[in-house]
Amino acid sequence: MRFFSSISVSFFIYLIFFNSLKIKAQNTDFSTDLPLIIINTNGQEIVDEPKITATLKIISNANGINRATDAPTGYNGRIGIEVRGSSSQYYPQRPFLFETRDENGENLNVSILGLPEENDWILLSNYNDKSFMRNILGYKLFELSGHYAPRAKLVDVIINNTYEGIYVLTEKIKQDKNRVDIAKLKPSDNAGDEVTGGYIFKIDYWNENDSWKSPYSPIDHPAFEVHFVYHDPDWEELSFQQKDYIKNYVTSFETALYGPDFKNLQKGYPNFIDEESFIDYFIVSEISRNNDGFKKSRYFHKDKNGKIAAGPVWDFDWAWKNINECFIFKATNGSGWSYKINDCNPWVKSPGWMIQLFDDFYFRQKTNCRYFHLRETVLSNENILGMVDSLYNVVKNAQLRHFGKYQILGINVGAPEVDEQPQTFEGEVEKLKRWITLRLNWLDNNMLGDCNGEPPVELALGETFMVYPNPATSEINILAKDLIKQMQLFDFTGRQIYTSPSVFNKSFQINASALSKGVYILKIKGVDGKTSTQKVILK
């Protein structure tokens, strides 16, 4: 597990010390300019399953001053709550998942802090993100690129009269008209169009029950195993037919992706995926150089009769910084590709689909065009850094109490960062802004593809060689499937007018500037002794 290998000794010292530190939220003096969430478990301990019953009240006054003694202005009722996360649940500030419930304990859809009605919510901790911004930045950039991403709010949290710090209240990724807006799959949807969607699945920590194993390994790492996890509906809710359908659909996509005609619009990968979502997911994950963007916490969804779409994005607390995990993320000059995570990933394996997708000129070209288009608007330095400044203004007062409880400024905790640790919150924000500027500059100079590039000449499926352009003018270009040993050119009467030297290459060029216009026959001999001929027209 990642947290055993990456959390420093100093982390465990602070884990022991700060777990015992309690800052009581006295009803007479606690106030904040963030929305205030107050949870009471009536003496029960919050555990990692099952959810316990508790009460929740939310205070978010119009004047921006929220006291623990104020009457609730938002939700005021029952919840079921549990600890969530993998390594993050071992931080002194733990993340939680909760669902709003009615008096009978049933799910209750409500709007929280202006977010669309639902019943499943998450409180993400900020122990590993001293800027409080990393997740919100990632979500917002994906949303502004035209896709659903979890909406989020920065909030202060009190549990059982104890201040727990600043959290990110956010939406759980699930099927819903206001979240991942795909068809709701019913247990009876087991055939025909009905079984085709909708599904949400992911790359994440897995077990034998909640996942299936791909029959394919990443194209550049043939020894790796890849597992996909059923997310919504989860594995216990899916019928055998539904599990079989989504597994077979993903396998069909991978078969096309790794097949000899993978670029073909009808037979290849374009027939199975929403390319635009994959491109935008790649761009946002690379701008943040998200450590988890391609190997875990990676979501996909498929609507009824639809294609596989990438996203929503999730889990950016290890992103937007230089970390001592693998050579990709150690780089302090803004360099490195997150999508190549398999090159140094000992944990959950990425399917490596992007490696093969970028072997297609047109996918690279679309990615390049899209990146530089977004750089003019959503992804401009001005817009991203402006978002950072806005978030700073939201949290600049509340952070004082948070870092009073978790005295971690200047200390390397959570993700093992390479850079020096600022001693102040303002220093953390400035470090983040410098990192973003450096990363964008590197991507501008190294983005894959060429928006205005000419497509390469490629053999069609089944062709042994091709001549281009044909008709030709002053040059005859030849591209073969296998090594060429020798070439001969004959005029239309059968007279040999050109013989090449030994070639031993897959491509060759004949200078035809001295030849007359007309029809010629090109004969190619391969190193295997087989010969092929093709008509060539000179104009």
Name all domains of the chain by residue range, CATH numbers in brackets: 2-171 (no CATH), 192-375 (no CATH), 465-538 (2.60.40.1930)
What confidence score (pLDDT) does residue 25 get?
A: 55
CB of 166 closer than 8 Å to CB of 153: no
What confidence score (pLDDT) does residue 23 get?
A: 52
Which pLDDT tens digit goes with each residue over 248-272? 999 999 999 999 889 888 899 999 9
Say which residue the tokens 């983040």 belong to: 432
Distances (CA, A) of 344 to 167, 291, 295, 332, 406: 31, 11, 11, 17, 32
CB of 89 closer than 8 Å to CB of 64: no
Beta strands in 358-472, from DSSP E residues, in sequence order: 465-468
Distances (CA, A) of 10 to 95, 218, 400: 21, 36, 22
Instruction: Tell me what the mean pLDDT of segment 516-532 comes to.
Output: 90
Residue 16 has pLDDT above 50, yes or no: no
Residue 27 has pLDDT above 60, yes or no: no
Output the pTM of the full model. 0.84
Residue 502 has pLDDT above 80, yes or no: no
Q: How many Cβ atoms sit within 10 Å of the Cβ of residue 327?
A: 11
